[in-house]
A = this chain, B = another copy of it.
Amino acid sequence: MSASIIAIDAMGGDFGPHCIVPASIACLAEYPSLHLVLVGQPSLIEPLIARYPHVDRARLRVEPAAEIIAMDERPAQALRGKPDSSMRVALGLVRDGRAQACVSAGNTGALMALSRYVLKTLPGIDRPAMVSAIPTEAGSCQLLDLGANVDCSAEHLYQFAVMGAVAAEVLGVARPRVALLNVGTEEIKGNQQVKLAANLLQQAQGLNYIGFVEGDGLYRGEADVVVCDGFVGNILLKSSEGLAGMIGQRIEAQFRSGLGARLIGLLARPLLRRLRQELAPAQHNGASFLGLQGIVIKSHGAAGPEGFKSAIRRALAEIEENLPQRLHGRLGEHLL
Bound: A241/B257 CA distance, A: 25
Number of copies: 2
Q: Shortest distance in angstroms between A105's beta carbon and chain B's nearest beta carbon?
A: 14
Instruction: Let me know if A245 and B231 touch, CB within 8 A.
Output: no
Instruction: Let me know if B247 and A244 touch, CB within 8 A.
Output: yes
Q: Is A66 part of the contact surface with B, judged by Cβ < 8 Å?
A: no
> CB-defined interface of A68-79 with B at 8 Å, one 1/0 digit per residue?
000110100000
Bound: A306/B312 CA distance, A: 47
Instruction: Let me know if B232 and A254 touch, CB within 8 A.
Output: no
> CB-defined interface of A48-82 with B at 8 Å, one 1/0 digit per residue?
00000000000000000000000110100000000
Instruction: Let me know if B234 and A231 touch, CB within 8 A.
Output: no
Bound: A150/B254 CA distance, A: 38
Residues of B near A268 (CB, < 8 A) are 255, 264, 268
Instruction: Let me know if B234 and A235 touch, CB within 8 A.
Output: no
Residues of B near A181 (CB, < 8 A) are 235
Taking chain A's interface residues, is the majority helix, strand, or loop, or is none over half, making it mixed? helix
Bound: A279/B243 CA distance, A: 11
Give the A interface residue count (CB, 8 A).
Answer: 62
Instruction: Let me know if A191 and B239 touch, CB within 8 A.
Output: no
Instruction: Let me know if A191 and B271 touch, CB within 8 A.
Output: no
In this complex, which of A183, A186, A187, A278 has the most chain B Cβ atoms within 10 angstroms of its Cβ? A183
Q: Which residue of B lies closest to A263 (CB)?
A: B267
Q: Is A83 part of the contact surface with B, judged by Cβ < 8 Å?
A: no
Instruction: Let me know if A239 and B216 touch, CB within 8 A.
Output: yes
Residues of B near A279 (CB, < 8 A) are 247, 250
Q: Is A174 part of the contact surface with B, judged by Cβ < 8 Å?
A: no
> CB-defined interface of A204-244 with B at 8 Å, one 1/0 digit per residue?
00000000001111111000000010111011111111111
